Amino acid sequence: MTQDNPLLVPWTTPFGVPPFDLIRPEHFAPAFDQAMAEHLAEIAAIGGNREPATFANTVEAMERSGRSLERVGAVFHNLSSSLGGEALEEIDREMSPRLAQHGMRVSLDPALFRRVATLHRQRETLGLAEDEMRLLDRMHLNLVRSGAALGEIEKARMTEISERLAVLHTAFGQNVLQDEKAWALPLAESDLNGLPDFVRAGARQAAAERGLDGYAITLSRSLIEPFLTFSARRDLRQTAYEAWIARGMHAGPHDNRPLIPEILALRAERAKLLGYPSFAAFRLADSMAATPDAARGLLDEVWGPAKHKAAVERDRLLAVARAEGFNGALAAWDWRYYAEKVRRADYDLDETEMKPYFVLETLQRAVFDTATRLFGLTFTPRPDIPVYHPDVRAYEVRDAGGHVGVFLADHYARPDKRSGAWMSSFRDQEALDDAVSPIIVNNNNFAKSQPTLLSFDDAETLFHEFGHALHGLLSRVRYPSQSGTSVRRDFVELPSQIYEHWIALPETLRAYARHHDTGAPLPDALIDRLLAAQGFNQGFGTVEYTAAALIDMALHSHPAPQTIDIVAFERSFLESIGMPAEIGIRHRPAHFQHLFAGGGYAAGYYSYLWSEVLDADGFEAFKEAGDPFDAATAARLRVLLSAGDTRDPMALYVAFRGRPPGTAALLRSRDLVTV
């Protein structure tokens, strides 16, 4: 079977990219079986080594183990998210608990832990380099946090919890996807009042993809948000908005509400087995924030100013609505619609006027050219590199030293594709034995049309995700577990968020915001109005985000999460924090995939704001240098991006910035400074 399974043989493709044209769903189960067996044999050999534990025969041997499993897993998990489909979903349901069980067998192996613990006790006498010391510290900490130091009964329970959470996480994500695939709002010509041409084109494409006549709005953010912004039909806005916020809340097999208390209870139990009072305390102990109180303190610092600014924004929206004859209460499906009218009135800024200048292909070039000016990178299209879908574009990335890596751009929404935007990797950079270059992918969910026109927010998302991509591409580490984005959760958003600043530069906009028909640049007057409006609607944006971060922390600090009625809890919690009725929380719990389709951002959604403190403060280093492309500042930033997890993140930041960060730049950037 091995020679017939493309996942289990060497790849002869350019740069070792997976041979997507040869890989079929039926290849994954046997590949996982063989890769897990190989990994367990490697772990047994490390633990059973009769030689005394050394850094080389234990820690470095661990770094070399499981490479086949990592390769198979990277292909599978990326294709499950980006390509999807029933066959991959079924494999995900089957494999997720088995992979969780396998991971716990490795983490809880007693012989392995004895060797790592011995080295950790001796660490100051081993003469380790900085990256080696951090690798040993983190490896020991991760094993302890997995339960390796517990008794046998507790270890068995930790494994049961891990397996069950894997099942629940997979089900949660698939339930949201099913709701997104199942819903569409068909529109006739008479329903299009207020919709600009780019929304109509996206709706026409969405209808065609679903075999519908005319037009359709789907639950892709790239369609639903512009529909809520421009549709003059309040009844249809309400229908679309209510469908958007009801994902995961439909009674039946795809209902996520019963899953949430169980997920929370299992996480809380795991934390208590490890000696923590709550899952939030457990998660934050290994973060830059260190404690839930510190994370909540940052959120509280912006919550009051954000609500104050949102109230001012609401009153301005109501004034416009009243002038148009609307006398009811402002609802969540009204905010974007009237906000666009206010933006036109107060800033002479019309998204329909701007959007023809924001062409996806041109902005992708802006993303690349910015990286060229900052870091000396070049991006060459490589149609010979295999891709997993015709929408995907492949590029070779190089710098003065030669080949850097491969970048895959997958920008369009598809019915089976996970919603949202993200960066991932098919292979991480390392140099333990040989130099291994990264294969990085960016996913977006833009509505496909000809041409594909973006909003300014979409353009920021394009830059944001590529900031993550640079973190992976520019990694220069020795050990694979320290590569690229393998850093603390409240540090990982710094590279992505700081990169957003370059799309807002006047020189970037003049060069790359070009009209799709005429090629004319975005007029300077329009650039001035766009930048003047950067603080516009920031009360709304900060409130909807911060509410989601606060409820995340509350859920994961709850003393008895198994008793939670999630609908009642959400309602009560939002009332307790004074959530404005006209603003919806960014992610309701039943479709909050950051929290419940996996554990990565659980008790960690605050990290976007924590990282924004760093990025707002950090970009001011370029301002202080007087040049957004200052070579010396860019060189220091590249050091931060290349370091992965080889150093403490605050030490990396201070080395870049020259001092610890402060919140003043964040409050200014969101226009939340109150007098």
Whether residue 463 is contained in a domain is answered as no
Q: Are residues 61 and 191 in the same domain?
A: no
pLDDT for 291: 97
Tens of pLDDT, residue by residue over 467-491, are 999 999 999 999 999 999 999 999 9
Judge if 203 and 78 occupy the same domain. no
* CA 3-5-9 angle, 5° bins: 60
Whole-number Å distance between alpha carbons of 306 and 316 = 15
Same domain, 100 and 188: no
**Of 225, 245, 265, which closes a domain?**
245
**Confidence check: pLDDT of 1 > 70:** no
Is 465 a catalytic site residue?
yes
User: pLDDT-derived band of residue 225, with 50, 70 and 90 as boundaries?
Assistant: very high
pLDDT digits (tens, 9 = 90+) for 117-144: 999 999 999 999 999 999 999 999 999 9
Boundary of a domain, candidates 93, 120, 146: 146
Residue 577 tokens read as 């924090």
Nearest to 165 by CA among 298, 270, 16: 270
Instruction: Evaluate whether 538 touches 672 at the Cβ level (below 8 Å).
Output: yes
Question: What tokens appear for 617 in the block?
Answer: 């403060």
How many domains does the chain fold into? 2
Q: Is the pLDDT of residue 591 over 80?
A: yes
Q: Residue 132: inside a domain, yes or no?
A: yes
Q: What is the DSSP letter of 58?
A: I
Query: How much is the average pLDDT of 307-325?
Result: 96
Q: Could you give the CA distance from residue 226 to residue 196 in angstroms, rounded to a whole number?
A: 9
Looking at residue 60, what is its pLDDT? 98
In 92-128, which positions are buried (b, 16+ CB within 10 angstroms) versus exposed (e)?
beebbbebbebbbebbbbeebbebbbebbeebeeeeb
- In this prediction, residue 675 has a pLDDT band, given cuts at 50, 70 and 90, of very low
Residues 196 and 85 in one domain: no
Assigned token pair, 26: 């039926």
Provide the pLDDT for residue 672.
83
Report residue 606 CA to chain centroid gap.
13
Residue 118 resides in a domain: yes
pLDDT digits (tens, 9 = 90+) for 31-71: 999 999 999 999 999 999 999 999 999 999 999 999 999 99
Q: What is the pLDDT of residues 206-223, one digit of tens each?
A: 999 999 999 999 998 889
Determine the pLDDT at residue 370: 98
Report the C-alpha gap between 6 and 495 in whole angstroms. 34
Together in a domain, 24 and 120 = yes
- CA-CA distance, 372 to 581, in Å (whole number)? 45
Residues 28 and 125 in one domain: yes
- Residue 601 counted as domain residue: no
Residue 387 lies in a domain: no
Q: Please give the pLDDT value at position 368.
A: 98
* CATH number of the domain that residue 90 is part of: 1.20.1050.40
> How does the average pLDDT of the chain come out, rounded?
96
Give the Cα separation of 36 and 33 in Å (integer): 5
Domain assignment present for residue 595? The answer is: no
Same domain assignment for residues 137 and 198: no
Q: Of 207, 222, 245, at which residue does a domain stop?
A: 245
Order across the sheet with 378-381: list the strands: 378-381, 393-399, 402-412, 439-446, 422-427
Same domain, 64 and 127: yes
In a shared domain, residues 79 and 192: no
Residue 565 lies in a domain: no
Q: 673: pLDDT confidence band, cut at 50, 70 and 90?
A: confident
**Domain range for 99:** 2-107+109-146
d(CA 387, CA 17): 9
Which residue is catalytic, options 340, 465, 493, 544? 465
228 and 126 part of one domain: no
Q: What is the pLDDT of residue 649?
A: 96
- Each residue of 157-208: pLDDT tens digit? 999 999 999 999 999 999 999 999 999 999 999 999 999 999 999 999 999 9
Same domain, 28 and 130: yes
Residue 584 lies in a domain: no
> How large is the average pLDDT for residues 6-19?
97
| Three-state secondary-structure class, residue 553 | helix
187 and 135: one domain?
Answer: no
Task: Tally DSSP H helices, then E strands, for the chain.
Answer: 27, 7
Instruction: Assess whether pLDDT exceeds 80 at residue 2.
Output: no
CA distance 661 to 657: 8
Sort strands 378-381 and 439-446 into parallel, antiparallel or unpaired: unpaired
**Using CA atoms, how far apart are residues 672 and 675, in angstroms rounded to an integer?**
10
**Alpha-carbon dihedral sign for residues 512, 516, 520, 521:** negative
